[in-house]
Amino acid sequence: MKKVLIIGGGGGGLILANHLDTNEFDVTIVDKSDLHFYQPWFLYIAFKGSKRKISRPIGELVRPGVNFVKDEITEINLDERKAYGSRKVVYNYDYIAIATGTSPDPDSIPGLRQIYDEYGDYHSNVYNSQKLWSHVKNFKGGTIAIGQASPTCKCPPSLLEGAFLLEERLRGMGMSVGTSDPLSPSNENDPTKTGEKGKSRIVFFTPFPRAYSAEPMNKVVEPMVKERGIEVMPFFDVDTIDVQNKTINSLEGDSLKYDLPIIVPPCKGPKIKFTPETVQDEERFIKADKNFMKIPGYDDAFAIGDCNTLPTSKTGVTAHLEAMTVSELIQGKYSEFNGRINCPFDTAYGKATFVIADYNNPVVPYPPTATKHFMKMSMARIYWMTLMGTADPIFERFFNITKPEKLNRKYSVPE
Ligand SMILES: Cc1cc2nc3c(=O)[nH]c(=O)nc-3n(C[C@H](O)[C@H](O)[C@H](O)COP(=O)(O)OP(=O)(O)OC[C@H]3O[C@@H](n4cnc5c(N)ncnc54)[C@H](O)[C@@H]3O)c2cc1C
């Protein structure tokens, strides 16, 4: 029996394992944690104080016949087909799939470690999301600077989702948001100048030229950003943070003062020593080809999900679809990943949209609706079924009826 070794029991790793025929393959998942987390819910912990249980033991999420081992892989030798665990255990394989996701790197920006430890964030883990909630719920007024510290981030919509949910929360707490002219940060109503309680500014900073990086979706959400008084600071790549003076400085030379900083740290690929080491890029992401997720030079090694260098968004849906393709390839069938993204995007006040595109079709300017919000909320319930493969028919149908080429014909208005 051929051995399939999967490193990482996140969305990508579990979906791959659960779609392999265990009568044909000896399948093992190795994860350094014994818990799997539903990461999209970090947002609702950080901005709504949700107490929903969002983790389940990985051992309970694998189908019968799939082995789960708790161990941290520190080294992988692709030439010798061996992976090494922290207790010097050696794992041999015929096929390997690396699905280790990303890890936050708050030490790569001066000052960020202190912010990360004190205020938390809404991307890293449950604990950090709870920490952020304790600051959001006790916020009395002033400027909240919210954004991403580097361009590489998982789930691009989640960044602006944070700003939207924050605005909804502050207003729910009886606060005003924005200067009277939201486009003029120097306005005299600026609460950082007047120090008035109950008045707040939300400044969303981003390294991209606009509030949402993909232009068609930006056209949908930018009017909402303005209407809600959220200010946008584009072309803002975080360089340093002066914690004493509560200022974030950008590489472009701008400075942003804050009372509450909400900063999504840069994310990196796995801390694993590879042979050959050229398979990782400078941010440790694992190089893989964009249609088959194969690590260049190796027919038996794949990188799926957030840990790879594919030119598509790092989302659970992409990890899911990449895993489905790799499961087919390992089982000797032809399959190709087309770069499909399908990321739900909560625009707050009970509405949501989806960011839908693939390698050949641009992002659909898909309007937010209450139905899409209901779908996003329902995902938290059916997520566990998607990992086991029992929701496949629903997803197949959904992906078919929401193909970007079809939706673009309906929603794209020619310039
Ligand atoms: C706030 C937020 C909102 C999001 N919203 C959405 C959304 O609405 N829709 C969507 O599709 N996606 C969303 N995402 C993104 C989605 O959660 C990730 O893209 C998805 O989890 C990636 O799956 P993965 O399998 O690649 O990695 P992960 O799910 O991160 O799993 C990686 C696993 O590898 C393990 N691991 C790491 N290193 C090692 C090692 N050395 N040895 C052993 N094990 C290791 C980890 O413990 C972990 O279990 C969101 C993410 C965030 C943070």
pLDDT given for residue 182 in this prediction: 40
CA 370–ligand 1 middle distance (angstroms):
27
Count of residues in the chain: 415
CA 104–ligand 1 middle distance (angstroms):
11
- What is the DSSP-derived secondary structure letter of residue 285? P
Q: Are residues 333 and 353 in the same domain?
A: no
Q: Using CB atoms within 10 Å of the CB of residue 158, give its burial: 0 to 12 exposed, 13 to 18 middle, 19+ buried.
A: buried
Residue 395 CB less than 6 A away from ligand 1: no
pLDDT given for residue 414 in this prediction: 61
Beta strands 142-148 and 260-264, pairing class: parallel
Residue 267 CB less than 6 A away from ligand 1: no
CB 301 within 8 A of CB 2: no
- The domain total for the chain is 3
Q: Which of 323, 338, 353 is where one domain is finished?
A: 338
Q: Are residues 122 and 235 in the same domain?
A: yes
pLDDT in tens, the chain (415 residues): 999 999 999 999 999 999 999 999 999 999 999 999 999 999 999 999 999 999 999 999 999 999 999 999 999 999 999 999 998 899 999 999 999 999 999 999 999 999 999 999 999 999 999 999 999 999 999 999 999 999 999 999 999 999 999 999 999 999 999 874 443 444 445 554 544 568 999 999 999 999 999 999 999 999 999 999 999 999 999 999 999 999 999 999 999 999 999 999 999 999 999 999 999 999 999 999 999 999 999 999 999 999 999 999 999 999 999 999 999 999 999 999 999 999 999 999 999 999 999 999 999 999 999 999 999 999 999 999 999 999 999 999 999 999 999 999 999 866 5
Q: Are residues 114 and 237 in the same domain?
A: yes
Closest-CA residue, ligand 1 atom 39, reads 100
Q: Are residues 189 and 256 in the same domain?
A: yes
pLDDT given for residue 308 in this prediction: 98
Task: Give the domain range for residue 237.
Answer: 105-261
pLDDT given for residue 181 in this prediction: 41
Q: Are residues 178 and 292 in the same domain?
A: no
Residue 7 CB less than 6 A away from ligand 1: yes
> What does pTM read for this prediction?
0.95
Q: Which of 261, 296, 321 is where one domain is finished?
A: 261
Q: Using CB atoms within 10 Å of the CB of residue 324, give its burial: 0 to 12 exposed, 13 to 18 middle, 19+ buried.
A: buried
pLDDT given for residue 183 in this prediction: 37
CA 31–ligand 1 middle distance (angstroms):
12
Which residue from 6, 33, 121, 154 has its CB within 8 A of the most atoms of ligand 1, so it is best to mutate?
Answer: 154
**27 strand-pairing partners:** 4
Residue 32 CB less than 6 A away from ligand 1: yes
Q: Are residues 147 and 192 in the same domain?
A: yes
Residue 147 CB less than 6 A away from ligand 1: no
Q: Are residues 94 and 109 in the same domain?
A: no
CB 385 within 8 A of CB 338: no
Residue 157 CB less than 6 A away from ligand 1: no
CA 23–ligand 1 middle distance (angstroms):
28
Q: Are residues 299 and 166 in the same domain?
A: no
Q: Which of 204, 236, 261 is where one domain is finished?
A: 261
- Which atom of ligand 1 is least distant from the CA of 85? 42
CB 103 within 8 A of CB 114: no
Q: Are residues 393 and 288 in the same domain?
A: no
Closest-CA residue, ligand 1 atom 3, reads 40
Q: Are residues 114 and 225 in the same domain?
A: yes
Q: Are residues 52 and 126 in the same domain?
A: no
Residue 155 CB less than 6 A away from ligand 1: yes
CATH label of the domain that carries residue 309: 3.50.50.60
- Alpha-carbon distance of 360 to 184, in angstroms, equals 38
Residue 272 CB less than 6 A away from ligand 1: yes
Q: Which two tokens stand for residue 185?
A: 């940060």
CB 359 within 8 A of CB 312: yes
pLDDT given for residue 184 in this prediction: 42
CB 158 within 8 A of CB 40: yes
| C-alpha atoms less than 13 angstroms from C-alpha of 287 in its C-beta half-sphere | 11
Collapsed DSSP state (helix, strand, coil) of residue 62: coil
- Alpha-carbon distance of 315 to 336, in angstroms, equals 18
For residue 412, CA distances in Å to 216, 279, 289, 365 come to 8, 39, 30, 6
Q: Are residues 125 and 229 in the same domain?
A: yes
